Structures are given as structure tokens and as C-alpha cells.
Amino acid sequence: MRKYFPVEILDNSTQKVCIPSHIKSNVKLTKIAFGTHMIETEIEQHNRQSITLSKDIAEKLLIPPIKVPMHLFITNETVIIGPLVGVFTSGFTPFLLRPIGERSLFFAKLLSVKKSVGALPFVFGEQHINWEKGTINGLFYHSDGWETYEVPIPNVVYDRLPNRKSERHKALRLVKERLQTEYMIPWYNPGFFNKLDVNDRLQQHENIHTFLPETFAFSSFSDIEQMLSKYGHVFIKPINGSLGLGIHQILFDKVEGSYFCRYRDYAGGNKLIKFSSLESLMRHIFKGKKLNRMLIQQGIYLLRTDKRPVDFRVHTNKDAEGNWVVTAIAAKIAGAGSVTTHVKSGGVIKTIEEVFPSVEEQREVKEKLADAAVKLSKALEETMEGIIGEIGFDLGVDRNGAVWLFEANSKPGRSIFSNPQLKEYDHLTRKLSLAFAIYLTERSISQPEEIFK
């Protein structure tokens, strides 16, 4: 694990940079860089475990007056301090108290882990970039609240665009293209996953396909009939859906010969409606909906607790060494009559310990879920474009103990952390989502061909 050091700014000296004496270099160090700004200066070594800069050097490098320990990276004759991490998003307001509207608290919590990581993160949008100067008017969060400071283009960008609409916005896409082509900035967690695309790509992996329920794009009613006769129930989901919106469960009662549809209506109520035929169900429920944007997925008979289905949210993150690790596991119990386990549909978040009474069961379920999540993370990293740093998986365990993948989220929600017993994992997921920037910064310096291949 890399070590990071306190950064001290000296008011009473000029043209001075000191780094710890144990930092080794094969050549004389003559430059210092912060983000994409670099200046020439003499670099000394001292016996203190700190990075010391005179005020004039700090001002030229545009280092903001925020006390955060940082890492040192050496390349050729240059010392790089950082990483400076830009968190890219949209939806800004003119109010510094809540500069990103309702999401301001999320970003404040994300940025607040900086001291435990040894990185300096800030939030920015397309409108904050000064292309001519190569700087950004970044939003920083510290003990006194939000502040804006002009800083260089960062070492790494963490993509936190809120939705697919913002991702498709031309101006925002151009920012990514320009930063990557002109500055060679590693950009991680780009893009929202498409359910059908994820399924198709994972099918290519031999040790992964056992986690995948039978899934395909809607083409005809007869496909649904065949799936119903095979599995008893199926799910119809929007290919690009999120938050459980638009999911319908269709069930077939062989004894009655009746069809049932369970879903959540626009008013927020959970519905279960009976039909005499599949055709009448589809006409009534999906009237006016574009079925070519839907997928059909095999129904799974899940483990139940208190007679309600339970599935699991598993978060994985890449750490500062570039390894996939499981950072959180939570159980999600469906609300009464709900088609999903989402909190907005009446779902309840519980720890594994709250759901499974025996220690042996707890251990077994955690191991199964963690093993599946790491394997799926590695497979997605191999098959998807871009640099992936975190994933939120919705996994199920059936009555026979098999693990199933329902969904993979490139920008996972954080509703599971509403359970107070999961607070430490909330902190860990935020910490590692920034710690990965350390790995990317180091790799972009030492092995750029790996990052930009």
C-alpha cells in the first residue's frame, strides 16, 4: 500500500520544495506537478515525513488551501503530488449551500473521505472548465462547507453523471472526449449498463453463465408462453430501466388456467390483476408501451423470509492496488405484494445477520454472494468498454442455494445504507471509489499503455 504524507505550505520561504528522504529517484528531481500543472524548481529531501512547499510554489501549482495528505509519484525528473480527482456530474445550482441540488449531501459525503484516502477530490461540470487556461473552478467540500477553488485539470476523472439523459448530452460527451484526447486523463465508471447487453456479454464467459437467468429481448407472445410453461413465472423489464421502475411479473396458474400480472402503478401502489388469457393481459397492461424496449427474464423461486422474497445488493470496488473487493452485502426484502425488493415499493433493508439466524448460514450466504460478485466484476471488466471502478449487483439465491444475477449497476444507488448497521460499509464504498484514483494515477504514469489501450 502506498504511503501518503501531510502537505505543509510555508509562508516565509520561496522556491522551496522538500520531500521525505526515503523517496528514491535515479535522476535529479527538477520539476513538481499537481494535476496537469508543472513547474521547474529545485527539489530537496528532508528527514521529515511530510511534503513541504513554499507559498509561491503552491500558488503557481494552484493547490487549494485545504489540509489533505497526498501521495507522491515520481516519473523521470518530476515529483507529482496528488492525486487530484475530478468528480464529473451535472445538475448544478447557483447556491453554494446546495451546489448540486438534492445530491449535494451525497457528494459532500463522498468528498469527506479524502483524508483517509490521501487524495484531493472536487466536483465539477462542463461549465466549470476554463479550456484556455487548462484549469477548472472546482467545488471542494471541507469542514466549513462548500468552496470554489481554481485548480488544474485533474489526474483522474470519476464519472458521476446522474442518468442516461445527461450521459447522452452532446456537451458532456465532448468534455470526456477532449479531456481524454488532449490531456490523456483516465476516466472511470463511464456509462450506464444496458441489461440485455450485459447479459449477452457475460454469456461468453464459461464460469459466469451459470449465474445468468434465461433472458432475451421481447419478440412475441409465444416466447412468453414458452417461458411460463417452463418456469411458472417471468419478468418483463425495461432494457434501460433503473430503480425497479416498469418491472412486471407475469404468473401462470396451471390449475385455474389463469394469468396474473404483478406490478407497481404510477401512483405508487402495488397491483396484482387476474386475466383469462395472456393476450388480454398484454393488451391491458402494456397498451401503448413499446415492447421492443423490453426484455423477458426467467422467474426464479427465491429464498423467502417472513413469507416474502429476498434478494441481495452486493457492492464491489476496485481498491488502491487495482483489485476487486466486496465492500458491502445487504439483504432486500420485498414489500407486501411488491414485484421488486426496492425500498420505494415497500422493501426493507436488512443485514445478512438479521435474515439468517445461524452463523453457518450467514457465512455460507456471504461466501456465495461474494464469490459470485467478484467473478462477475472481473468478467464485466473484461467485456465492457471503459475503466470500471465499482459495481452494484442485484443477486438472488434460489431455494436450492444457487446464485443468480438480476442486474449489474455501474453507478449503484445507496439505499441499502439507510440501515444504520451498514454505516461502516457506506464509508468503505465511498473510500474505495476514490482510492481507485490512486491506482489509476500511478498506472497512467508508469504504464500508460495499460490504461489507454
What DSSP assignment string belongs to 9-25? EESS-SS-EEEETT---
Taking Cα atoms as reference points, which of 133, 141, 182, 185 lies closest to residue 159?
185
Q: What is the average pLDDT score of the chain?
A: 91
- Are both 62 and 166 inside the same structural domain? no
Burial of 345 by CB count in 10 Å (0-12 exposed, 13-18 middle, 19+ buried)? buried
Non-local CB neighbours of 400 within 8 Å, separated by 6+ positions: none
- Are both 346 and 406 inside the same structural domain? yes
Which stretches of 215-269 are assigned E, i.e. beta strand?
A: 215-217, 233-238, 248-253, 258-264
- pLDDT higher than 90, residue 110: yes
Residue 176 sits in which domain range? Answer: 85-185
pLDDT at 288: 65
- pLDDT higher than 60, residue 1: no
Q: What is the average per-residue pLDDT within 276-304?
A: 87
Who has greater pLDDT, 401 or 194? Answer: 401
Enumerate the β-bridge partners of residue 110.
none
Q: What is the average per-residue pLDDT within 134-162?
A: 95
Spatial separation of the C-alpha atoms in residues 88 and 428, rounded to whole Å: 21
Non-local CB neighbours of 326 within 8 Å, separated by 6+ positions: 314, 315, 316, 369, 370, 373, 374
Whether 452 maps to a domain, the answer reads no
Number of domains in the chain: 4
Other C-beta atoms lying within 10 Å of the C-beta of residue 218: 18
- Are both 105 and 176 inside the same structural domain? yes
CATH number for the domain harbouring residue 366: 3.30.470.20
pLDDT at 335: 78
Whether 178 maps to a domain, the answer reads yes
- pLDDT higher than 60, residue 351: yes
Whether 92 maps to a domain, the answer reads yes
